Structure 1
Amino acid sequence: MLILNLIIVLLLFAGLHIMKRKEVSFGKRILFGLFAGILYGAGLQAIYGLGADVIKETVSWLNVVANGYIHLLKLIVTPLILVSIITSILQLKDIRTFRTTGLTIIGILLFTTLIAAGIGAASALGYGLSAVGMPAGDAELGAAQKIETKLQGFQAASIQEQLINIIPTNVFHALTGQGQADTLSVVFLAAVIGLSILHIRQYRPESAEFLQKIVVYGQDIVMEVVEFILRITPYSVLALIAKFIATSNVESIMKLISFVAASYTAILAMFLVHLLLVAIGKYNPLDYIRKAFPVLSFAFTSRTSAGTLPLTTHALEHDFGISKGIANLSASFGISIGQNGCAGVYPAMLAVMIAPTVGIDPFTLPFLLKLVVITAIGSFGIAGVGGGATFAALVVLSTMGLPVGLVGLLIAIEPLIDMGRTALNVSDAMVTALLTQRIIGEADAAEDALGEARAEA
């Protein structure tokens, strides 16, 4: 039976290859891979039953494509962040322009996270979620113990130490992505290098030009790898979603279906906020959905905001026409700051759900205001990979004085919720880029008009 299952997978892959040769659009191929994977995974579970040996063997081969692809994405993320931010800074006129663009992006990311936290809390209250009396099995208790251990390590470092840890002491170690604040460390390193070259340009332009060429050559190599990743994305989407559907425990998911429903209600509500912001920014929301769909669908299946970074920057530049500087900065900042799904909606929902277990009324205004503010501030530095939401929950729950171990109760449905959260994270980064482009563009136009008026006077 294993051979038959693999033959079917190869036939589906062949279908995707034929679609590519016939120049079927990337979005349609992603959509085909998504639905083909759902049907294939559901078929495996329906025929063999959950946990069957033949499913495990089939999934082990699917993992060659699925996990191999994720590894490839993780490989390219750090160099992509590094060269993207450096080149983004070098395309700016001066350091003052960088401050304006960077602060605008960070401001929008935090503003949307503030809204996301409010929506998450409202959804949890609306569904009447509560962890009081919720049963915990062995898996949940084991997860709770791991989370408690993780919190102890987190609390061992003060806020000042956590800020200091963003500054890498070893360039090469920071680039390996093994540090506690690895993503922000790379962002910091890229900003320092970019701003240094920008400053050198003022008094030694020939050196700055040489350094800029080195960065551009490095970016050419990185982007060539990104192009290869894009070409194999539809195949990975099929494998990822098939693996998820074939191995999902429907009974476990049904136990906490209310939390799933509340989560996706909040996610969809926040996505509508994104569309509203897009409209305010004078973009067509339907056009945004059409162009963003391939990127968001991959984020949904892969569950990694950082891994989706190559697709995000590519879509912003080529499909939305966003300048390379703003596209790279928004996408790169978006995987470590803000994150509407993982660092906004999810921690706020958990706080509302867990509060009654320690006798706190989540309906009180002081509790809700404190929750929303802490969630937004705590969204700094959340890693854009699997597990980032758990870390965000640790920050918010511990700051609110709530028991973090109860997060382990949700382990059975974590993958299902994480899919929607990740897509929302990536959408936030894309919307931020659109709004920043509009704000910066209008500011530049106003400055040009003022300059012309002064010249005429």
Structure 2
Amino acid sequence: MDILLIIINLVIFLTLIGALMLLKKRNVKFSYRVMIGLLVGLVFGAMLQLIYGVENTVITTTTDWMAIVGDGFVRLLQMIVMPLVFISILGAFAKMDMQEKFLKSGVKIILILLGTTAIAAAIGITAALLFNLDASSLNLGEAENERASSLETSAQEVEDQTLPQQLVSLLPANPFLDFTGERATSTIAVVFFAVFMGLSLVRLVKSNPDTGEKVRGGIVAVNEWVMQLVKIILALTPYGIFAIMANTVATSDFQAIYDLGLFVIASYAALIAMFLVHLVIISLTGLNPVQYFKKTSETLLFAFTSRSSAGTLPLNIQTQRIRLGVPSSIANFSGSFGLSIGQNGCAGIYPAMLGIMIAPAVGIEVNATYIITLIAVTVIASLGIAGVGGGATFAAIVVLSTMNLPIALAAVLISVEPLIDMGRTALNVSGSMVSGTVTAKTNGQIDKDVYNSHNLDELTAEV
């Protein structure tokens, strides 16, 4: 009987995917199809849980097969991350006229990313205090205990290093190893390697113009080649988002979400507050924050659903270039740097909230000194946060271990991680786009006509 029910569920699942394909043939806009996929996945997942329940064998097997589409899409996004980060930064150098522009723009982007992370940490701390969050009242179940053991194992590598040693580890001793994503800090290592390669390109163009121009042309060509791969992957977005949302809703433990509801509410209060700060920052530069919201909403929705800052990188860069009027070089820098430096949600709000929650459980007084130290550690730890799943966990491990707080208590939040991670990822991407937009505006390089236009051009070409 179970096998028959599983087959029926999968037939419905495939039928819904077929319906999404039909929408493409009828030339329905890409953004509309993504939204439809999200909503249909939400309804289908809710129906599966309502009919079978979370722990039923039918739903477990059904979602396992459905994950071929959802998890497969995420793995394809992960596949393009390192090549895209590397070639985006090199491409930015190849399209740049002078080295000074990089120094001015690059430093400004990094300062904005770190500055907004400090604000995000302060907001996370404020939310935790206002909602009186205290981890000492939370109990660890079997799944949480397994997660706690895993976190403690991961923390051993961090605890064995001093903070200066952790910063040194961000540099690529073996860039080819980092291209495999072997280390937690591989993304930032690839960013550094690409920057050094870009600086060497600038020197080459000056010292040997003929050879330099050939290399520059080759980089631009490879950049276009990689972007064609990106378009192939992004064309699968409606189907991937549908499967991801269906699986997430079907397997969510709503009782656990209810039990930890205060933390979820506090988290989203902090995330929304920080997004409003982004809008304030935009307005302080003289740009219309409503325009920013309208033009970035589609990309933020993609980030929210996919839970991957790195997977959103192509849309991030295109949104800045096509809709916000940010020059290609600045968009590439801010998009790539934003993957691993100063993620406002995963590396700002989340670890700061945990630092406040866990302190009372171990008898640490939350005073002004503790709060200032926590913000400083959070900002420093935000260097090198991975942009594809697990970044928030790595940030939490670094911050909590540096503050001498127990890692295991963070495991109690495992059941609500997917729900919160959606909002965190969207905020990460917004912070990246804000850094690019503000940098372009203060440099006097933003195209105001593009920014102020009401035309929402498609972000990805159909394949």
- Asked if Structure 1 and Structure 2 have the same fold, meaning a TM-score greater than 0.5 normalized by the shorter chain, the answer is yes
- Aligned partner of 1:432 in structure 2 is 435
Shift of 1:368: 1.6
Cα deviations by residue, 1:235-284 (Å, 9 ceiling, x for unpaired): 11111010000011111121111111100110111111112222223333
- Using the size of structure 2 for normalisation, the TM-score is 0.92
Shift of 1:84: 0.5
Shift of 1:226: 0.8
- Aligned partner of 2:25 in structure 1 is 21
Cα deviations by residue, 1:286-333 (Å, 9 ceiling, x for unpaired): 332232222212211222211221221122222223211111110100
Assess if the C-alpha contact under 8 Å between 1:27 and 1:293 holds in 2.
no
Shift of 1:9: 2.2
In 2, Cα distance between equivalents of 1:323 and 1:70: 29
Q: After the TM superposition, which residues 115-130 of structure 1 pair with which residues of structure 2 at under 5 Å, given as runs?
A: 115-130=119-134
In 2, Cα distance between equivalents of 1:206 and 1:264: 54
- Aligned partner of 2:293 in structure 1 is 289
In 2, Cα distance between equivalents of 1:2 and 1:444: 53
Segments of 5+ residues of structure 1 without an aligned counterpart are 446-457
In 2, Cα distance between equivalents of 1:317 and 1:138: 47
In 1, Cα distance between equivalents of 2:168 and 2:352: 27
SS in 2 for 1:236: helix
Shift of 1:155: 1.9
Q: After the TM superposition, which residues 269-308 of structure 1 pair with which residues of structure 2 at under 5 Å, given as runs?
A: 269-308=273-312
In 2, Cα distance between equivalents of 1:366 and 1:5: 55
1:228 is aligned to 2:232: yes
In 2, Cα distance between equivalents of 1:217 and 1:90: 10
Q: After the TM superposition, which residues 251-330 of structure 1 pair with which residues of structure 2 at under 5 Å, given as runs?
A: 251-330=255-334
- Using the size of structure 1 for normalisation, the TM-score is 0.93
1:396 is aligned to 2:399: yes
Matching residue within 82, 90, 105 for 2:86? 82
* More divergent stretch after superposition (285-294 vs 160-169): 160-169
In 2, Cα distance between equivalents of 1:115 and 1:67: 33
Shift of 1:202: 0.9
Q: After the TM superposition, which residues 23-422 of structure 1 pair with which residues of structure 2 at under 5 Å, given as runs?
A: 23-362=27-366, 364-422=367-425
Segments of 5+ residues of structure 2 without an aligned counterpart are 449-463
Shift of 1:137: 1.3
SS in 2 for 1:39: helix
Assess if the C-alpha contact under 8 Å between 1:50 and 1:249 holds in 2.
yes
In 2, Cα distance between equivalents of 1:186 and 1:149: 25
Assess if the C-alpha contact under 8 Å between 1:299 and 1:419 holds in 2.
yes
Aligned residues, how many? Answer: 444
The code of the aligned residue for 2:300 comes to: L
The code of the aligned residue for 1:423 comes to: A
Cα deviations by residue, 1:70-106 (Å, 9 ceiling, x for unpaired): 1111111101011100111222222221110100100
Shift of 1:217: 1.9
In 2, Cα distance between equivalents of 1:234 and 1:318: 21
In 1, Cα distance between equivalents of 2:345 and 2:75: 23
In 1, Cα distance between equivalents of 2:430 and 2:20: 26
The code of the aligned residue for 2:409 comes to: L
Assess if the C-alpha contact under 8 Å between 1:123 and 1:265 holds in 2.
yes
In 1, Cα distance between equivalents of 2:433 and 2:16: 31
Over 3 Å counting, the alpha-carbon distance change for 1:57 and 1:358 in structure 2 is: closer
Assess if the C-alpha contact under 8 Å between 1:30 and 1:294 holds in 2.
no
Cα deviations by residue, 1:364-419 (Å, 9 ceiling, x for unpaired): 22222222222112211111121111111122122222222211121121121111
Assess if the C-alpha contact under 8 Å between 1:50 and 1:247 holds in 2.
yes
Over 3 Å counting, the alpha-carbon distance change for 1:422 and 1:443 in structure 2 is: closer
Assess if the C-alpha contact under 8 Å between 2:326 and 2:445 holds in 1.
no
Shift of 1:442: 6.2
The code of the aligned residue for 2:436 comes to: A
Shift of 1:24: 2.7
Assess if the C-alpha contact under 8 Å between 2:136 and 2:361 holds in 1.
yes
The code of the aligned residue for 1:183 comes to: T
In 1, Cα distance between equivalents of 2:330 and 2:115: 18
Shift of 1:160: 4.0
Over 3 Å counting, the alpha-carbon distance change for 1:281 and 1:27 in structure 2 is: farther
Cα RMSD (Å) of the superposition?
1.9
Assess if the C-alpha contact under 8 Å between 1:16 and 1:235 holds in 2.
yes
Assess if the C-alpha contact under 8 Å between 1:88 and 1:328 holds in 2.
yes
In 2, Cα distance between equivalents of 1:176 and 1:143: 25
Over 3 Å counting, the alpha-carbon distance change for 1:51 and 1:10 in structure 2 is: same
In 1, Cα distance between equivalents of 2:26 and 2:289: 29
In 1, Cα distance between equivalents of 2:346 and 2:217: 37
Shift of 1:49: 1.6
In 1, Cα distance between equivalents of 2:294 and 2:23: 19
Assess if the C-alpha contact under 8 Å between 1:88 and 1:326 holds in 2.
yes
Assess if the C-alpha contact under 8 Å between 1:26 and 1:294 holds in 2.
no
